[in-house]
Structure formats: structure tokens, C-alpha cells
Amino acid sequence: MSVLTDIFTSGASSLVKSITDGLDNLLTSKGEKLQLQQQIEKQVQDYTVSMTTLLQQQEESYLKDIQSARTMQIAALSQDDVFAKRYVYYLSTALIVAAIGFDFTLFFVDIPVANRDMINMALGTLNSLGFASVISFFLGSTHTSAMKSDTISTLVNKQ
């Protein structure tokens, strides 16, 4: 996210400076240069505002997705069926156990060279599903969300 912040802030101001420095050769008066520089800075500010709005919309979409998963879990827990109540936990446990089991199996099984690419793809998929998705479902990603919110607030306040 800091890369985007750099592009929106320092990158934009250096772009304006380089454009206006290049216009010295084309413009005859300081008034023309100042007017054009103001127009360019306004365009950069408008662009920064629109990109910030898009980032906020992306964050809102992410949070709505998380909320829908939480709502689904609340509905499942309100049922009388024990299996339906615990399905998410069974699935999560199975994914984590499968990922760990697959990882440890690779220490003891000799994989043919022809199959290594397929095993690496399966390993990456299972580990990302088994760990990243399950952990983010139960614990969320509050740290990165807070960092994004701080960055967006910083960008908005700089204008």
C-alpha cells in the first residue's frame, strides 16, 4: 500500500514539476506557466481523489465480503442440526490437517522429477487454502485493514 501512497503523493508532485520545467521552453510568460501549472496540479489532485475513492470502495467491498461470511456463520449456529452448526469447523480442521499432512509427507516420499511441478502447485494451493483462507476467515485481517484505512486517511487529509 505504501507504493500506492508514494505514487499518489510524491510521484504526482514530481510529475507536475517535470512537466512544468519542460514547458519553460514552450511558454513565453510566467503568467502562462503559472496558469498551466495550476491546471496540471488540479488534474493531479482530481486523479488522486478518484484513486482514493476507488481504494475506499475496494476496502468496503472487502469488508462486506467478510461480513457476509460472519452472517452465514451466525445463521448456521442458530440451527438445531449439530452437523450444520459445526460444518465450517469440520471443513477448516480437514483443510489444515490435510495441508500439514501433505507437507510432512513430502519429507518421507521420493517424488519423481516429472511430477514435481504438479506437486508444487498442489502444495501451494492446499497451503493457501488450508492456512491463509481458514485463518483469515476466523481471525480476519484487521491489521492490514487498519493499515489501509490509515493510508487512505493520510491521502485524503493531504489534499
* C-alpha–C-alpha distance, residues 45 and 20, integer Å: 16
* Residue 79 lies in domain: 2-157
For residues 133 and 139, give the distance between their C-alpha atoms in angstroms, rounded to a whole number.
Answer: 10
Contact 155, 8 (CB under 8 A): yes
Position 23 scores a pLDDT of 63
* Cα 32 to Cα 39: distance, rounded to the nearest angstrom: 11
Report pLDDT digits (tens) over 52-94.
888 888 888 877 777 777 787 788 778 888 888 888 889 888 8
Q: How many folded domains does the chain comprise? A: 1
Mean pLDDT of the chain: 77
How far apart CA 95 and CA 127 sit, in angstroms, is 9
Nearest-angstrom CA–CA distance, 147 and 12? 22
